[in-house]
Chains A and B, each alone.
Chain A
């Protein structure tokens, strides 16, 4: 099983600032199988980024994803009030192949 470790666990920032969230895999992940999700309290997760760097439909361009191999990053360039939420990375792979999620990064208002 491929384990995804996200850091930091909690990130405290102010609106207008930039955020950098990390996702590190225990073994190499195929980039096309790496996705990021946003989850707000009481809601289902929603897809932000797929293929490590492609924004999902309707996602603003302040969200960007990058990385390859075992290190992936979600960057939010200018935080809006609605961006404060929990973010999860997800991958498909391993033996047997399966989906795993990181433990999440909580982005909170400072």
Chain B
């Protein structure tokens, strides 16, 4: 059974770079139908898609509102994918989830999620 696990610092200082890793177990990250995504949820608020990447074509897609500050990459040798977000502010404080972004035929959905990791931006 595919499982995802987020890891990274729980506290980041304002203006610095947030770096998170998602480790995938129980499956491959190189199949053509699957993208790998980051989603976040500020405290008490809703969900926001950050971006998705795919091994098959090497393409990555970002939320336009975050695109200038975000980078998502894949490491197939470690079966991991990562998120970097620079110039963080308190507004970036959130639970960050990694997930599998399945695009099977005409169907798009996120069917596997990590448990989430809380990141607080504070000095």
Contact = CB atoms under 8 A, between A and B. Distances in A.
Contacts, number: 65
Interface string B34-65: 00010000000011110010000000010110
Given A32-B107, A44-B97, A90-B110, A101 B116 contact: no
Interface residues of B, number: 22
Contacts of A102: 46
A54 B110 CA distance: 14
Interface of B: 37, 46-49, 52, 61, 63-64, 97, 101, 105-111, 113-116
B98 to A, nearest CB: 10
A102 B37 CA distance: 18
Interface residues of A, number: 27
A101 B49 contact: yes
